[in-house]
Structure 1
């Protein structure tokens, strides 16, 4: 039987047991994290930010709950112009002002980065998609082009599975036990990727970042919040939008993507047939996103 084990084998593994190869295998190491900066905002919350690329147009990328810049960068690899990546409050080195926080607060973070960077296009993944929805409900004409990747919530609270996952992540971080944290983080990987060289590389980088920067406990309140009270608030968004969903992802129900695409007047919906899109369909996903944004 093969599966996940922590800590990783000292030779870089993964080391398997049972029938099959068991010698050292070193997998491609994770890329070193680039230097980021702390940017001041008009609402007084300093946000960690990374700027890549050059020229126009400018695209802002908003990450998912408990995630960050490193996990969001692959989505922008083929996107032309300048790319703005940042960490929401409570993530990474960004500030964690007194809570509770709402999607209005996240939308202010997103708007500040977009406005200061003169972004005309926006990408939002999961939590970032929710923050983008809140911003657009207040300012429907803010962006010229939009991408929503695996939206998790719209006008109904997150499913119980998402709340339990976040609670487990915060508990593991609070314990300071890297093994316990690894058990939670490895659930982000598709089963076929766990205990593989690429899976270990991802896990090591993710654990390093979480153990170094942590996550603010105030994020727990967001799991019961919604970006909009009624999806009809987004009915005035005229910008072309690409909504990407996935069948079988319990943290990002495909019904949310379908509802969002049906609400946005100029939306195109694409649904993948199985979870783990960034691992199983990475090339197709990046090409789909860049082709849409670069159009």
Structure 2
């Protein structure tokens, strides 16, 4: 079995290890990051954001733990109107207030960005889906349309495997060791993508962001918490919702997506039959999201 190796070959490789032909060595250089801004919020936490598109409606995009603007932008590629991508506290150039944080804090970040930008639709991925659920529990009529992608928890904390993976990523980023961070991030890639040009490009982008900006220690306790004390709070949500899960994802069990869809009165559930859907079903996923939000 050819394993993952870091760093990649100096010529941009990649090289495979062991007998067998080498992989293609072509690939485009990564595009520069777009220029973002840091905005002040009413609750005193400055948050980094990127606004693209124009006109109405306005959609806010909330990312997963350890991710950010770069990883949520593809979800909005076909969405009409203005799109607001932002970084939760402790990510990117957003503030990292001292102390441990809760889903209420994340929901406050999401609500502030949505209110300042006039967003009427919301997308949440993983941790962002949890923050969105918490927000909806207190303000069920805040948005007109919702997409919740790979929800990781509802009214129970995440499992031990997820906690271990996340704590490992936080420790690797804190160490500043590029190889350790690469090993922690590589598990996000399906085996078929590792040691390919696309896989290396993804790792390079993730490492650039994580080693440049870091991740705040306040994120460490979030996997031990649940977004909601009781899923019954979502029964008052009036907006149509699209809930997307997939089978075989240890960090985002399909059962959580099913439970969330059952808790939302006007939810449509779609479950992909294998993990790694950002690589295997990317076009279908983006079409599904844009068709729903633009409907």
For Structure 1 versus Structure 2, the TM-score category normalised by the shorter chain is over 0.9
**Post-superposition offset of 1:23:** 6.9
Q: Counterparts of 1:139-178 in structure 2 under 5 Å?
A: 139-178=139-178
Answer whether contact 2:57 2:120 (CA < 8 A) is retained.
yes
| Distance in structure 1 (CA, Å) of the matches to 2:39 and 2:108 | 14
What corresponds to 2:85 in structure 1?
85
Query: Which secondary structure does the structure 2 equivalent of 1:22 belong to?
Result: coil
What is the number of equivalent residue pairs in this alignment? Answer: 295
**Post-superposition offset of 1:234:** 0.4
| Distance in structure 1 (CA, Å) of the matches to 2:93 and 2:162 | 24
**Post-superposition offset of 1:159:** 0.9
**Post-superposition offset of 1:24:** 6.1
What corresponds to 2:14 in structure 1?
14
What corresponds to 1:193 in structure 2?
193
What corresponds to 2:225 in structure 1?
225
- TM-score, reference length from structure 1: 0.98
Q: Counterparts of 1:112-261 in structure 2 under 5 Å?
A: 112-261=112-261
What corresponds to 1:283 in structure 2?
283
Query: Which secondary structure does the structure 2 equivalent of 1:65 belong to?
Result: coil
Contiguous gaps of at least 5 residues in structure 1:
none
What corresponds to 2:54 in structure 1?
54
Q: Deviations for 1:147-202, whole angstroms, at most 9, x for unmatched residues?
A: 00000000000011111111111111121211111111111111111110000000
Answer whether contact 1:11 1:24 (CA < 8 A) is retained.
no
| Distance in structure 2 (CA, Å) of the matches to 1:23 and 1:276 | 21
| Distance in structure 2 (CA, Å) of the matches to 1:170 and 1:141 | 35
Contiguous gaps of at least 5 residues in structure 2:
none
From the superposition, tell whether residues 23 and 167 of structure 1 become closer, same or farther in structure 2 (CA, over 3 Å): closer
What corresponds to 1:98 in structure 2?
98
From the superposition, tell whether residues 130 and 23 of structure 1 become closer, same or farther in structure 2 (CA, over 3 Å): closer
Once superposed, what is the RMSD of the aligned Cα atoms?
A: 1.0
- TM-score, reference length from structure 2: 0.98
Q: Check if 1:42 corresponds to 2:39.
A: no
From the superposition, tell whether residues 24 and 231 of structure 1 become closer, same or farther in structure 2 (CA, over 3 Å): closer
Q: Deviations for 1:99-153, whole angstroms, at most 9, x for unmatched residues?
A: 2111110000000000000000000000000000000010000000000000000
